[in-house]
Amino acid sequence: MSRIAKLPLELWDPELRAMTHADSGTPLEQGLMRMMAQAPGIAKGVTGLGAAFKQNRGLPEKLVELVRLRIAFHNQCRSCMAIRYQSAVADGLSEDLVCSLEKPHESPDLTAAEKAALGYADKFANDHLSITEATFDDLRRYYSEPQIVELGMWMAFCVGFGRLGATWDMIEELPESFQDKSRVLTPWRETVVQVRG
């Protein structure tokens, strides 16, 4: 059972319901917003930030999803690891590619640009003070300055809300393998759910 109560959809702020398309989504797609709906003014801001990432994306959907899943592993956010967004799948994300996240720097399936972004994500999620000029020099070989800014903001979103999701422990609607809290999970060895987005 989640540690924070989920607000029933009929009690959500109507504007928040519309912003999130909650009426047409599954409970899993509604995700943490079911708890955040208890603070609707802030939840609308979070929803707006998520929409801004989607509408103004300058990075490939596949890369954004790889970074999200790698950070979800570091956070041990089970709900984050259980989901694959359709937009990333349409952009070339496959479960074989997700499996490459186990050892991304050794994977022949990832590009040098993807490895640079994932290396940045690993440091950001685990030891942010180890990020140096060399990290940014490596990123600049593949990404523009606006893309690096976007990547950093996306990682901050994923680290922060992924850790929040992990502490709220919303796992009861996930595939069974994600509900076993006796082991460290990975996004590359479990049954997953594909959702809109």
Which residues make Cβ contacts (< 8 Å) with residue 6, sequence separation at least 6? Answer: 34, 35, 170
DSSP code at position 39: S
Compute the mean pLDDT over every residue in the chain, rounded to the nearest whole number: 93
Question: In sequence order, which ranges of the chain are alpha helices (DSSP H)?
Answer: 14-20, 27-30, 33-36, 40-55, 61-75, 78-81, 86-90, 95-99, 112-126, 133-140, 145-168
Q: What integer is the mean pLDDT of 171-186?
A: 84
pLDDT in tens, 44-85: 999 999 999 999 999 999 999 999 999 999 999 999 999 999
Model confidence at 190: pLDDT above 70: no
Instruction: State pTM to two decimals.
Output: 0.92
Q: How far is CA 59 from CA 72, 81, 129, 147, 149, in A?
A: 19, 20, 24, 6, 11
Model confidence at 28: pLDDT above 80: no
User: For the chain, which domains are there?
Assistant: 1-56 (no CATH), 60-168+181-195 (1.20.1290.10)
> Is residue 184 classed exposed, middle or buried when 0-12, 13-18 and 19+ CB atoms within 10 A define those classes?
exposed
In 10 A of CB 2, how many CB atoms?
A: 16
Model confidence at 124: pLDDT above 80: yes
pLDDT at 139: 98
Q: Supply the Cα-derived Rg of the chain in whole angstroms.
A: 17
pLDDT at 157: 98
> Is residue 5 classed exposed, middle or buried when 0-12, 13-18 and 19+ CB atoms within 10 A define those classes?
exposed
Which residues make Cβ contacts (< 8 Å) with residue 43, sequence separation at least 6? Answer: 13, 16, 33, 36, 37
